[in-house]
A and B are shown apart, each in its own frame.
Chain A
Amino acid sequence: MAKTAISAHQLVKWFGEGDARTNAVKAASFEANFGEIFYLVGPSGSGKTTLLSMISGILKPDSGSVTIDSTAIWTLSKDELADFRLNRIGFVFQDYHLFPRLTTVENVAIPLILKQRDWDEAIQEALRYLEIVGLKDRAQLPPFKLSGGEQQRVAIARAIVSQPDILIFDEPTASLDGDTGKKIMSFIKDEILNENRCVLVVTHDSRIFEYADKIMKMEDGAVTTIENKSEVK
């Protein structure tokens, strides 16, 4: 029996005031397990990013709870939550947010440096992860010299360098061509996923649905269906 990695319970989020007030997420609940790639799909504006942010501890829900590996994250203080993210969650943002003024390897080392690791040690470790994503020879270049797919892999290296349990990808393939997107997803499935990790992916991109273990559909802030693909296989 797989261990529950993420458990979201009745999450609600409102934005705005008065007439402009929108219910971005309406009582969303779901569970995702370790060892799973969990997809969150739905039309634009359906609340995917909002839900993902509440799960990963960067946006406080109006009500409901999030439990990650038995820690109720929204009961933590601000600093505890920052530490929790630093130690347990890896992020790959849609447009990567790599520092153009740092080298690729320095970008990858950032989570380790935030964890107060010695600089040289952090750089060595980051190099190992760049090797895993196949970009060791690009280590000293600034990220903007790399192609989109390569930058995506740098962002992945940065997300996994601190060995988090939960990996969060927002639209990982949106700005990549079909082949590159598939390559990235199969890389995640083969190299990054393991039985102690849960990978959460938000996407529009139906070309990569084949890599999912579970696909949760959202519409207008509410969860409509959760399809378990791995059981079908």
Chain B
Amino acid sequence: MKGILKIAFKLLVNDKGKFAALLMGITFAVFLMVMMTSIFSGVLRSASSVVINIGAKIWVMDPAVTTVANSIPMPDFVQHAVRSINGVKFAVPLYSGSATLRLANGAYQSVSILGLDDTSLLGRPELLEGNITDIFAENGFLVIKDSEINKLNNPHIGTTFELNEHRGVIVGIAKVAANGLFGMPTLYTTYNRAIQYIPSARFTTSYVLVEPKSVELVQHIKDEVKKMGYVAVTNEEFRENISTYYKYKTGLGTNILIMTLISFIVGLSISGQTFYTFILENLDKFGALKAIGAKSRELIIMIVFQAGFTALTGYGLGVGLCTLMIGLAKMRLPNYASVVTFGNLGIAFMMVLIIAIFSSLIGVRKVLKIEPFDVFRG
């Protein structure tokens, strides 16, 4: 068995031109598929960045909210009502919105602003410079050190700005796990300061963040919130909903899907075609092998091995190339939204398997049909 695999390997690899073409086809297809789906995963992660960074277990919101960025303010009583639901350990408000700052040099800059509950500071970021309690200082804001921070002209502790006729001052520099999608710097302050500085309509609470007493009570909390006319979702559900929204309601997902399918079809046709030519070129030799005494099973093993080996090598190269490209892109653009997930690798792997199976099938069909007698007759 090992011997015929070695022969199969040599037949394949020694045909350098075709082997290179096969590898290129598969590598390219895998590269495109992984790249495409990784960018999409990156966008989805960014779209959920606030959910990831705040990290609360349960989020209460207006039923019409589709993504975390377009929150719909709720009246204050919601927070109090949620707090009194049996099974709620605590419930605090979160302000999430955006505003335009006037920087010290007079320039204007949009930022997103998160207002954390004044007593618990639930969802606070990790501080790199300064002290978290300074957030309570007069006009205190934290700035997130991400790729957008420079839009605020190199802010440091003590930098001041103007926000709707109010003075603001940077009291700390912090970092968060996930970058946002919209290319704006992010500021954190307290809930009360946020609603005071940023004018809004009657209602002010973007989300109510809930910590349940135990996981068994989550369903009960959801039911009670629903009775009030609002919805409560877990962190994972919220992220899932945001993904679903981008996947199915924005056209983004469909486009990515179409591009992935096209890469797959291109890869499939290049590799299928080349593998077919490879088999055709060796067909009389396979016939001679049959005459000499190779069994059909052995020929099938050889072909499946050749197709499988090419597919896996191409897969490895494609994934490697993709990781390299994303790595390079991230070196230049720290906020580059692209994550290679196991799901993406799995999808690409399945597609490569299909390419291998398809190529094997056409090869095997040809080889099983060849009659040694025809080889004999020349």
Where the two chains meet, the residues of A that have a C-beta atom closer than 8 Å to any C-beta of B are: 49, 52-53, 56, 58-59, 78-79, 82-87, 89, 91, 93-95, 97-99, 101-102, 106, 110-111, 113-114, 116-119, 122, 170
Contacts and interface: CB of A to CB of B under 8 A. Distances in A.
A93 B375 contact: yes
B198 interface: no
Contacts of B325: none
Interface of B: 1-4, 6-7, 10-11, 14-15, 282, 284-285, 287-296, 298, 371-373, 375-378
Contacts of A117: 3
B272 to A, nearest CB: 21
Given A49-B376, A97-B284, A97-B375, A113 B7 contact: yes
A119 B6 contact: yes
B294 A97 contact: no
B284 A113 contact: no
15 contacts: A53-B376, A59-B371, A82-B294, A85-B291, A86-B292, A86-B293, A94-B378, A97-B288, A110-B7, A113-B7, A114-B4, A114-B293, A116-B3, A118-B3, A119-B6
Given A113-B7, A117-B3, A95 B378 contact: yes
B3 A113 contact: yes
B11 A101 contact: yes
A122 B14 CA distance: 20
Q: Dominant SS at the B interface? A: helix
A82 to B, nearest CB: 5
A68 to B, nearest CB: 14
- Which of B1, B6, B375 has the most C-beta atoms of chain A within 10 angstroms of its own C-beta? B375
A58 B376 contact: yes
A142 B377 CA distance: 24
What 10 A-B pairs come out closest when comparing CB atoms?
A86-B293, A113-B3, A97-B288, A101-B14, A85-B293, A58-B372, A59-B373, A82-B293, A53-B373, A82-B295
Nearest to A112: B3
B293 A93 contact: no
With most chain A CB atoms within 10 A of its CB, the pick from B14, B287, B296 is: B14
B293 A102 contact: no
A87 B293 contact: yes
A99 B293 contact: no
Contacts of B298: 114
Given A52-B376, A53-B376, A85 B3 contact: no
Contacts of A99: 11, 282, 285
Given A93-B378, A102-B10, A170-B376, A58 B295 contact: no
Given A87-B293, A94-B378, A99-B282, 12 more contacts: A52-B376, A78-B296, A79-B295, A86-B293, A91-B288, A94-B376, A102-B10, A102-B11, A114-B3, A119-B2, A122-B3, A170-B378
Contacts of A86: 292-294
A101 B10 contact: yes
Contacts of A58: 290-291, 371-373, 376
Nearest to A85: B293
A91 B7 contact: no
Contact of A111 (B10, B14, B292, B372): B292
Nearest to A119: B3
A49 B377 contact: yes
Contacts of B1: 116
A91 B291 contact: yes
Contacts of A89: 293
Nearest to B6: A119
A143 to B, nearest CB: 11
A168 B2 CA distance: 28
B319 to A, nearest CB: 28
B280 to A, nearest CB: 14
Contacts of B288: 91, 93, 97
Contacts of B3: 113-114, 116-119, 122
B373 A101 contact: no
Contacts of A93: 288, 291, 375-376, 378
Nearest to B4: A113
A83 B295 CA distance: 8
A117 B282 CA distance: 23
A170 B1 CA distance: 30
Contact of B289 (A94, A114, A118, A119): A114
Interface centre among B14, B15, B293, B295 (most CB of A within 10 A): B293
B100 to A, nearest CB: 68
Contacts of A122: 3
A214 B285 CA distance: 31
A52 B376 CA distance: 9
A113 B1 CA distance: 8
B205 to A, nearest CB: 72
Contacts of B11: 99, 101-102
Contact of B285 (A78, A97, A118): A97
Contacts of B10: 101-102, 106
A91 to B, nearest CB: 6
B293 A111 contact: yes
B306 to A, nearest CB: 12
A202 B19 CA distance: 38
Nearest to B293: A86
A102 B7 CA distance: 8
Given A53-B373, A102-B10, A83 B293 contact: yes
Contacts of A87: 293
